[in-house]
Each structure stands twice: as C-alpha cells, then as structure tokens.
C-alpha cells in the first residue's frame, strides 16, 4: 500500500549551456545557472497554495547577492497537501538551462532556520514525463548541499538533454515553515569543493536563526537550576557540577556568537553544540525536578503519560509527577509510565515490581478484580523516513515492552521508562485502588511509587464495536522463530492469534495466502480454511472473516478477453469454500476482499468480477480498496461493493454518508502514504496518534471499520541479523518494515517467548476501548430519554469528540487534553446511569 505524495520546486528552461559565462564565486568545476539575483528570475514561479505559501527574493544566499525564501503554510490549511513546493515552469526566466548532458552532477543549496530535522523530496522530470526522485535531509538550522549524479537520472530513464523541471518539497507542519534555496548548479566532477557555498550559508544562518535569544533563554534556565539544586551531599554536588558544566558551555557559545563570522565547518560545530545544549538543559531539568521531589533518594522516580514517548537518551520528557493516576471503566485497560532517573551515576541491576494492589476497602485486591503489571520499555535505533512528513527524533526510540527482562542497567546520562499496565475486570468494585511499585538497584536504597487507579461505576463492552480487517501472516512468524514442525507452527499461530484478540484485533487475513504476501511468487492464494474460521469463532468470537483475496494482479490489464477465466477460477474456489462454511455455520460471517488499490482498466475488471460474484453469491459482502472516490457512483460499482475502504487521506465524509444511506459501509485505512498531519503508528510518532485514530477520530467519521495490510511485516532480509527482540534493552532488532520506514505494517514484535507488545499497540487498544466508551455513552443516552436536557445536550457534544478532534488532519496530541475529554465522557455516562 504505497502511494508517494510529492509536490515540488519545478525548475525548467529553454537554453543550453553553450556560451553561458561562469557566474561570480562559482567553482571552476561548476556552473551556477540560477541564483535568483533579479526579480525577473522569479517570473514563472508558482506555489502549491498561494493563500498561504510564498516565494520571494531575500538579500542573502549561498551565491551572488540574493537567494530564494520559500514559506510553507500550516498543515491544517484547507486544501493543503502534506508537503509543498514552488514551481518554476519551463520556458520562463526561472531557469536558463534544460540540457544537462556533458556534466556529472546537478546540485543546489538548501538551508533553513527550522529547529528540527525532517526530510524533503527532490524530483526531476524530463519533457517526455520520465522522472527520478530522492529524499534530502533537512537539518535543523543547517545547510544541505543536494547533489545528484546525472548517471542516476539516466538510469531511471530521464533524458538529461531535455529537462522539464526539478521538484523540491518541504513537509508542512503545524506552523509555517521557511526554507531557503540558492545556487542551482551543474558540476563537471563529483565530489567537488563546496566550501564557498557552505561558508555563505553559515553567514546567512547566523542572521536568521535567532541564536542570541536561544542562548539567553538557556542561560536563564540554567541559573534557575543552579538555585534549585542542593549542596548537602555527593549526589547534589554531582548534579551541581552538571549544571555548572552546562553553564560554561552556554557561556562559551555566547562568546563564539559575539565573535561574529564563522566558516561552514565552524558554524556546523557551533550549531551542533547549541542543539546539544537545547536537549541537555530540559533533560537535566527532569533529573533535578525528580531530585527535588525526593531529596534523600539515591535515584529519581517520575511518571509520564502512556500517550507520550520517554526517550532514554537526549530528549526530555513531560513528567506527570511522582504519583500517577489512571482512570478506567470496568472491562478496560489503561496504562501509565514510570521513569527511573540516575543522579549522574550509572545504575546497575535495576528492577521494578508490583508490590501490592489494594482495593477501595483498603484490603488486598483480587487479580480477578484489578490486575497491574510493570515491565521496562525497550528502545530501537530508528531513523525517520520521508513518509513521516513531520520532525521525529533520530536515534534510540522507545517502543517494545520488554516483559522478558527482569533487570536492566541504566547509564548515568540515560533514563529508563517502565510500562505500567492496569486492567479492571467487568465485575471490579467501583472506587479507588492503590498500586504500590517497588524499584531497586544494586547498592542503592529501594524506592516505591504509588499509582492510584480509579475505576468508574460502569463497564464498557469487551468485544470491539469498531470492526477490523487486519492482515496477520503466520509464515513470517514461523520464519522469525525458525519453526518448521506443523504442530509447532499451529501452536505459534494460535498464540499470536490470542495476542491479537487481546489487543482488540480479530484474527483475519485480507490476503488469504499460505505464504509471505510481501514476497512475489512466494505464496498460493486459497480460501480461508474452515478449520481456521471455526477455531477463531470458538476461541475469540467471530465477527467476520475474509473468504478469499481477489488479487487483481492475476488479471492482464491489457487483455480483458482473458479476465473471465480467472473470474471462473475464483468462483470455483468460492463454491467449495462457501459450502464448507455453510456446513460449519459460519457462512453468514464471510466476506471477500480484493482489487487492492486498483485503478484504470482494473476498475472495469472489478466490475466484471464483482457482478459475477453477486450473481453466484448474492449475500456475500464484497470489500475493496480500489480507487473510486465516489464510492461507486461514478464507476457503476454502486450496488456491487458492500464495504468501501478508501485510504484515510482520500476519505470524503459527504461521500461516505451518501454510501451509508444506500445501505453500504464506508471504512478507511492508514498506510505508508498517510503521514503527518494524518495520524499513523510509525515508530517515533506520538503514541496518542494511534489512540486517536482508533477511538474518537473513527467514531466521529462514522466508519464501521478499519483495514490494515499487515501487522507482522518482519521480512527476513531486514531482520536476519536479529530476528527476535530478545537481546538487551537497546535491541539490535531493525524497526524498518517497509522501504526505509519503521513501523509501517508492524504493530508489535516477535519476543523470545512469543508476541511482545509495543507502546503503539497498547495505544491502539486504548483507542478501540475509547470507541467503545463513546458507544456506551450513545447507548446510555438512548436508554434514558427522560434525562435532563442540559445533560443530554452535553452528552451529544461529547459524542462529536470535537473537544479533541475536528478532522483527520486536525486533532490534539496533548495527552492531558485527551484525558480531560475522556473524564467528561465518563462523568456523563455515570450521571445518566444514576
């Protein structure tokens, strides 16, 4: 499910290089053909969204006297795409060169005052439509010299003698984004000396990045920390030394800034040091705040919300104090995080245990009422890809919940998060529970943390009201564990099915294959075995299941006359399968899925296929993700498709409601193309995104279900070196699962003893439960028609979920705001039941 979204800076022209003079400051091996020296150079430029995007000349750049400043409007602007660019059209003064032949490379400079790293995209297209593309890194307050060998363009089929444009995109963000371009050039050798461009970029960045303000703010915060830290013992002295060292570093940076001009290398070092200080000061604040909360302790304890990430290195976290509170309905899971903070000295043998759970009566609570567990959170070395379309930290990123590890070591400058999972049974007594956690480390005095769990007076349904069709592929799991014995494979599959069911994902296969659907030719498509369906029904409850995957790839798009033979094969397969389903009493739960993201001639093939299936099996629902934004109205597929599943960014509320009005369903799905500002569960995304998508966002949109193409996409070529997450807390397991993107098609991990949960799937389940929470509110409202008008009005307001989400592109990522909304929903349910 890959769809690349690219907009960009289009550069084109009509003249060859013959007779072009070498502009001022250009290297002898390069020819700068555009440096925006006059307003005339901007003629022909257009921007993606003129209402909020702009491209203007500014009096600084990397070559000549000026450059181009491109400002990108906010991501939530109506009509905005995820990325934006400027377009320089062929035949305009914006670019005097279209024939790049005879040169080795094409390049340009990009620099920005953005305070974070992200990834943009470069696309080159020739006049015949052939294109080449590559990502480029956008460095925080940095200079990016982009260079592409012309041989790579030629290898992609691009005719470098007739270039139509270069496209350069910048991802949108919540606030406007600014980038600067200059010195588009052709090089006769590569690599070549780019120091002159680097030096000019350094001068410009010193002007636009506001370093004086940044350093003044850091100095003030450090002065406050110095006043806060004690002087009474060795721990205080260690922490004070850290503060004093940071003060000295910041003072040195301020001196460097006052000294003035820097060359490119000096600027890069200076900027890196400023970035390090910006990370170190808030991180140090976490530690000193924890010390202040318990001044006699040997190590710090704090907590954090389960919808946030606590990075073990570099980044600060938002503390929720030393005594976290969780609130949950009966039948619900909720989580929090505890954080262990060393006091500038390594901790060995750190352990965390649940010491006791006491109920509302102060007596030990039974596990049958309320269960609490704690486990360290592991981290994976993660590099965000261009699919993220938002700034995300590069490095060790927390996600796997390491219930296989009983002890961990914590480096002096690290922190260690722990996952606290609480579950209240549907019969748990209402009231406040007290959970005592014990933390210990070798040679240190143990510490305790009290978690308060408040169980509301009502229960939510255990079975999810939001349907899911998520692919799980047993063969991938078998390969990860090296299991070849059929009996052991069945046992492993059942263990993973149970795990999925625990996390509110009904076992299913949208691609009904006996192999690995990610490897072409490595599988045989066959109907779902009736034995599998019966097992799922008997163990987990059966909502629906895919009977057969209709793979449009088996049809030749250019030979419609051959389609019927394959359709007849599908019909024969369904004849046999449906007979077995009827005999087992599960035929009413079957559907068929197919024509995955089909376009063009395949829409007619889908129509022919679906009509044949409806003629043979009129009561068998058909689900598809084919590209029809009208959901059947424009293509004649209305009446043939029962469950429409557009990609989330293509979901249209009005079209969906029209579809439901005629009796069909309208779902949606996320994938690699649904990056920010849409929610996703890539590694490093805020965990609240997964909860938001599966909870209030899906409820607000009215979708009956969510489809996803994979849950365990751990391909052998990417995970051969470390097939399981069974090593240290910083695991060598590769989080990359699709191209270079981490977490796409993978929601959890293969652990040493079976499936291992992740922060992402925990939030996924929380979202499914929040959907059920809203369903419960609607039920209560229906069952209490005589409730006071004011209460009914407030219930209707909460059911819109507009306090936390207004569209798929605009929603809160603030856990505190989200929890306040949940608390209000629970409060109204309680009042309605009273």
Whether the upstream peptide bond of residue 805 has omega within 30° of 0, thus cis, is no
Query: Does pLDDT of 212 surpass 80?
Result: yes
* Same-fold call for 30-208 versus 467-758: no
493-520: average pLDDT: 90
Q: For 318-366, what is each residue's pLDDT tens digit?
A: 999 999 999 999 999 999 999 999 999 999 999 999 999 999 999 999 9
- Mean pLDDT of all residues belonging to the chain: 93
343, 298 Cβ separation under 8 angstroms: yes
CATH 2.115.10 fits 467-758, yes or no: no
Q: What share of the chain is helix, strand, coil (3-state, %, to 5)?
A: 30, 25, 40
Residue range 452-464: mean pLDDT, rounded: 97
Nearest to 301 by CA among 316, 281, 321: 321
Check: CB of residue 128 under 8 Å from CB of residue 14: no
Residues forming a β-bridge with 126: 163
Q: What are phi and psi of 658, to 5 degrees?
A: -65, -40
SS3 271: helix
Mean pLDDT over 723-740 rounds to 96
State the pLDDT at residue 563.
Answer: 98
Q: Are the C-beta atoms of residues 2 and 740 closer than 8 Å to each other?
A: no
pLDDT attached to residue 12: 30
- Asked if residue 519 lies in contact with residue 762, where contact means CB atoms within 8 angstroms, the answer is no
pLDDT exceeds cutoff 50 at 16 = no
Q: What pLDDT was estimated at residue 27?
A: 56
Tell me which CATH homologous superfamily contains domain 303-459. Immunoglobulins (2.60.40.10)
Q: Please give the pLDDT value at position 515.
A: 74
- Over residues 21-43, the mean pLDDT reads 75
Domain boundaries defined on the chain:
30-208, 212-293, 303-459, 467-758
pLDDT tens digit string along 595-644? 999 999 999 999 999 999 999 999 999 999 999 999 999 999 999 999 99
How many CB atoms sit inside 10 A of residue 212's CB?
12
Q: What is the pLDDT of residue 717?
A: 87
Please say whether the beta carbons of 67 and 143 come within 8 A.
no
Q: Which residue has the tokens 């799922």?
A: 536
Q: Answer whether 591's CB lies under 8 Å from 621's CB.
A: yes
Q: What is the pTM of this model?
A: 0.92
Q: What is the pLDDT of residue 5?
A: 24
Q: What is the pLDDT of residue 523?
A: 73
Residues 396, 730: contact at Cβ < 8 Å? yes
As given in the structure block, the two tokens for residue 784 are: 């209490």
Contact 55, 42 (CB under 8 A): yes
Q: Say whether pLDDT at 21 is over 80.
A: no
| CATH number, domain 30-208, options 2.60.120.430, 3.30.1450.10, 3.40.190.10, 3.30.450.90 | 2.60.120.430
pLDDT of 391 over the 60 cut: yes
Separation CA 769–CA 764 (nearest Å): 9
Q: 328: closest CA among 377, 369, 356?
A: 369
pLDDT at 94: 84
What is the model's pLDDT at position 406?
96
Stretch (H or E) spanning 657: helix 653-661
**pLDDT band for position 96 (cuts 50, 70, 90):** confident
pLDDT bracket for residue 518 (50, 70, 90): low
Judge whether residue 691 has pLDDT over 50. yes
Q: pLDDT at residue 245 above 80? A: yes
* Whether the predicted pLDDT of 158 surpasses 60: yes
758 or 677, higher pLDDT: 758
Q: Is the pLDDT of residue 103 over 90?
A: yes
Q: Which residue has the tokens 């009215």?
A: 702
**pLDDT at residue 263 above 70?**
yes
- Helix ranges (H only) for 484-542 are 486-502, 530-540
Residues in the chain, how many?
A: 834
Q: Is the pLDDT of residue 586 over 80?
A: yes
What is the bridge-based pairing of β-strands 347-358 and 431-440? Answer: antiparallel
Which two structure tokens, joined as six digits, stand for 539? 């163990």
Q: Average the pLDDT over each of 51-55, 304-308, 358-362 and give the range with the smallest value.
A: 51-55
How many Cα atoms occupy the beta-carbon half-sphere of 713 within 13 Å? Answer: 26
Omega of the bond leading into 191 within 30 degrees of 0 (cis)? yes
Average pLDDT estimate for 714-720: 90
Q: Which residues, 6 or more positions from 408, have their beta carbon under 8 angstroms from its beta carbon?
A: 350, 376, 402, 416, 729
Distance from C-alpha of 515 to C-alpha of 517, rounded to nearest angstrom: 6
């Amino acid at each position: 499910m890959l769809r690349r979204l690219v907009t960009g800076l289009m550069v084109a022209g009509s003249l060859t290089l013959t007779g072009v003079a070498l502009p001022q400051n250009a290297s002898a091996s390069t020819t700068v053909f555009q440096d925006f020296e006059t307003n005339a150079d901007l003629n022909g430029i257009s921007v993606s969204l003129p209402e909020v995007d702009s491209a203007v000349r500014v009096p600084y750049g990397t070559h000549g006297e000026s450059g181009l400043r491109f400002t990108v409007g906010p991501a939530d602007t109506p009509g905005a795409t995820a990325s934006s660019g400027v377009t320089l059209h062929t035949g305009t003064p914006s670019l005097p060169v279209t024939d790049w032949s005879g040169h080795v490379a094409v390049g340009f400079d990009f620099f920005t005052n953005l305070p974070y790293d992200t990834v943009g995209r470069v696309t080159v297209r020739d006049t015949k439509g052939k294109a080449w593309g590559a990502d480029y890194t956008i460095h925080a307050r940095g200079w990016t010299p982009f260079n592409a060998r012309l041989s790579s363009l030629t290898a992609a089929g691009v005719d470098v003698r007739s270039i139509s444009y270069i496209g350069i995109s910048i991802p949108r963000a919540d606030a406007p984004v600014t980038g600067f371009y200059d010195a588009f050039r052709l090089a006769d050798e590569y690599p070549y000396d780019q120091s002159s461009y680097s030096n000019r970029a350094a001068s410009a960045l010193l002007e636009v990045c506001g370093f004086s303000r940044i350093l003044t703010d850091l100095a003030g915060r450090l002065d406050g920390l110095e006043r806060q830290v004690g002087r009474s013992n060795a721990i205080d002295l260690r922490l004070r030394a850290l503060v004093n060292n940071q003060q000295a570093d910041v003072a040195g940076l301020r001196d460097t800034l006052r000294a003035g001009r820097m060359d490119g290398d000096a600027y890069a070092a200076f900027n890196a040091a400023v970035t390090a200080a910006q990370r170190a000061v808030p991180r140090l604040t976490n530690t000193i705040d924890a010390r202040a909360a318990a001044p006699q302790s040997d190590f710090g304890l704090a907590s954090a919300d389960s919808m946030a990430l606590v990075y073990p290195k570099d980044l600060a976290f938002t503390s929720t104090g030393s005594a976290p509170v969780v609130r949950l309905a009966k039948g619900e899971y909720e989580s929090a995080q505890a954080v262990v903070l060393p006091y500038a000295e390594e901790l060995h043998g750190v352990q965390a245990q649940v010491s006791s759970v006491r109920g509302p009566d102060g007596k030990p609570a039974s596990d049958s009422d309320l269960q609490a567990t704690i486990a360290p959170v592991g981290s994976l070395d993660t590099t965000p890809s261009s699919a993220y379309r938002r700034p995300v930290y590069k490095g060790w990123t927390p996600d796997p919940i390491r219930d296989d590890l009983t002890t961990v070591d914590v480096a002096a400058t690290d922190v260690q998060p722990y996952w606290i999972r609480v579950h209240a049974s549907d019969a748990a007594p209402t009231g406040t529970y007290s959970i005592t956690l014990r933390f210990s480390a070798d040679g240190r005095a143990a510490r305790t943390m009290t978690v308060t769990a408040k169980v509301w007076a009502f229960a939510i349904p255990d079975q999810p009201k939001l349907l899911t069709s998520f692919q799980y592929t047993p063969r991938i799991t078998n390969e990860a564990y090296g299991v070849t014995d059929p009996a052991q494979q069945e046992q492993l599959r059942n263990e993973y099915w149970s795990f999925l069911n625990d996390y509110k994902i009904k076992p299913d296969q949208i691609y009904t294959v006996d192999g690995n659907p990610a490897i072409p030719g490595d599988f045989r498509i066959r109907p779902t075995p009736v034995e599998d369906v019966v097992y799922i029904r008997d163990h987990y409850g059966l909502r629906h299941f895919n009977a057969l995957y209709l793979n449009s790839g088996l049809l030749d798009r250019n030979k419609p006359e051959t389609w019927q033979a394959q359709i007849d094969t599908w019909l024969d397969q369904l004849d046999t399968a449906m007979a077995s389903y009827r005999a087992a009493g599960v035929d009413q739960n079957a559907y068929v899925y197919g024509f995955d993201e089909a376009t063009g001639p395949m829409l007619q093939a889908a129509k022919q296929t679906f009509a044949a299936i409806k003629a043979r099996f009129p009561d068998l629902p058909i689900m598809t993700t084919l590209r029809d934004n009208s959901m059947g109205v424009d293509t004649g597929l209305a009446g043939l498709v029962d469950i429409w599943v557009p990609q989330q960014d293509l979901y249209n509320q009005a079209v969906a409601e029209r579809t439901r009005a005629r009796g069909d369903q309208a779902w949606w799905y996320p994938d690699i193309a649904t990056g920010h500002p849409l929610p996703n569960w890539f590694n490093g995304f805020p965990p609240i995104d997964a909860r938001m998508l599966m909870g209030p966002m899906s409820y607000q949109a009215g979708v009956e279900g969510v489809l996803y193409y994979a849950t365990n996409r751990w391909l052998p070529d990417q995970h051969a070196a470390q097939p399981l997450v069974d090593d240290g807390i910083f695991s060598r397991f590769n989080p990359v699962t699709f191209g270079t993107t981490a977490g796409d098609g993978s929601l959890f991990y293969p652990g040493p003893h079976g499936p291992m949960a992740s922060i992402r799937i925990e939030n996924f389940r929380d979202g499914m439960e929040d959907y059920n929470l809203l369903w419960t509110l609607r039920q209560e409202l229906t069952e209490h028609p005589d409730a006071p008008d004011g209460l009914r009005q407030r219930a209707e307001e909460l059911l819109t979920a507009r306090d936390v989400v207004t569209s798929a592109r605009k929603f809160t990522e603030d856990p505190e705001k989200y929890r306040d909304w949940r608390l209000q929903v629970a409060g109204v349910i309680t009042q309605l039941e009273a």
